[in-house]
Amino acid sequence: VNAEIVAIGSEMLTPFRSDTNSLFLTEKLNDLGVDVVFKSIVGDDRPRLVSTAKLALSRSDLVVFMGGLGPTEDDLTREAVAEALNLPLRRDPEVLAALEARFAERKFVMTPNNHKQADVITSATVLPNPKGSAPGQWIAGKYEGHDRVVILLPGPPHELKSMFLTECQERLRAKLPVRFLATRVLKVAMMGESLCDSRIAPIYTQHADVQTTILAGAGEIELHLRASGATLEDAHRRIDTLAGEIEDELDDSIFSTNGESLEQIAGYYLQMRGATVAVAESCTGGMVAERLTSVAGSSRYFVGGMVVYSNELKTKLADVPPLLIEEYGAVSREVAAALAEGVRDRCNSTIGIGITGVAGPTGGSAEKPVGLVFHAIADEDGTDVVERLFTGDRQRVRRFASQQALDMIRRKLM
């Protein structure tokens, strides 16, 4: 079964806004065994909308229209799809009453333009929208002799997502051939994309029954696995087999098999071990603390952090000996270790993290180039330092360094 997604709204034809709803819909449709084969974006222009709708109906089994269901003159999706399907609109009294109740409840005056939100394509099922005013519509019928399903959804993401999940998912499942799909996401820390691929390509190419997608970011790779099967067990067995072989090969470079972020995993291990962490950051400027504390409940294991840009503060807050900075420089293995030990001591945490490096774009030298970062982790048994040379701009170097530090917490505790 092939689907086409049509996003409607002139704002998505400006340089400022792009369609992101289709990523959510694609994931959910793929889970139902539906392939998305076209995406179109069209403005609030009736003739263009009608021709886009006709084209989509002529070539795709399922067509999802998103947006253009509001009360303004620019909201033309209902009218255009009705024209393309050659079906009249009717004003639905129940929908109108619900709209009136909604306005009354909020003590808003309902202006006449709002009435058109109660217009429904003949033969359509109305999809309620508890999160907004415009209802959606579901039409199953023939177009030029072919079976078609047509869905109209509101544009605001929270309305669209909620309506798809509550109103469309099961309706679609009931109409589609039964298919069983299993998916898994493996996340890999601090490995280059080509190294990762060269290690796992010999494995996944032997599993043509599983679709493998590799997505690379700064210090993080996601491996998306997807398989279908005659039964759900069969689909899961295929995924499990491939995932198991990849996990054997990449071993502890895999930090998550369940979608968690690295900061969540680091926090998970800290909590599991009853450990606490404190961080002293120079070049990352607070990014490690910010990432650790972005996780709800992190106050249980995150004690505190310091951003020590100046040498004076490295000494004053984290007790780095001035002579150490003088002898080795602020960006050095020794100062990173002293930061980790100093912050651990000051904050009385189980683990201390110290980071110092050259984020760039300036400040590099032949000996200490832009991208050079020292990461230290200290606990009661001693201190380890990892030296890395990252490439990319300031933000990318900082992101890489924060990723390395979080990964060191994970590896220390796992």
Which residues ranging from 260 to 319 are in contact with a second copy (CB under 8 A)? 279, 281, 284-290, 292-294, 296-299, 302-310, 312-313, 316-317
285: left (phi over 0), alpha (psi -120 to 50) or beta: left
Per CB under 8 A, the list member of 1, 24, 247, 333 interacting with a second copy is: 24
Identity of the residue, 196 or 279, whose beta carbon is nearer to a second copy in the bound complex:
279
* Segment 141 to 200, residues that bind a second copy, using CB under 8 A: none
Integer Cα distance of 213 and 153 in angstroms: 29
Per CB under 8 A, the list member of 213, 231, 365, 391 interacting with a second copy is: 213
Identity of the residue, 122 or 391, whose beta carbon is nearer to a second copy in the bound complex:
391
Per CB under 8 A, the list member of 195, 215, 230, 414 interacting with a second copy is: 215
45 DSSP assignment: -
181: left (phi over 0), alpha (psi -120 to 50) or beta: beta
How big is the site for a second copy, counted in residues (CB under 8 A)?
73
1 binds a second copy (CB under 8 A): no
118 DSSP assignment: G
Q: How far is the CB of 205 from a second copy (least distance, A)?
A: 15
Contact yes or no for 159/135 (Cβ under 8 A): no
* Segment 371 to 410, residues that bind a second copy, using CB under 8 A: 394-395, 398
* Segment 218 to 247, residues that bind a second copy, using CB under 8 A: 224
Torsion over CA: 321, 357, 284, 264 (sign): negative
* 73 phi, psi to nearest 5 deg: -60, -30
Q: How far is the CB of 194 from a second copy (least distance, A)?
A: 13
Task: Give the β-pairing of 372-379 and 254-256.
Answer: unpaired
Tokens 């599991």 belong to residue = 272
122 binds a second copy (CB under 8 A): no
Q: CB neighbours of 31 closer than 8 A, spacing ≥ 6?
A: 181, 183
* Segment 47 to 106, residues that bind a second copy, using CB under 8 A: 48, 51-52, 55, 59
264 DSSP assignment: H
Query: What's the token pair of residue 259?
Result: 């979608």
Residue 386 neighbours by CB distance under 10 Å = 17
Per CB under 8 A, the list member of 27, 170, 326, 327 interacting with a second copy is: 27
Identity of the residue, 74 or 100, whose beta carbon is nearer to a second copy in the bound complex:
74
Q: How far is the CB of 60 from a second copy (least distance, A)?
A: 11
Question: Which region among 23-31, 97-105, 228-236, 266-274 touches a second copy (by CB under 8 A)?
Answer: 23-31
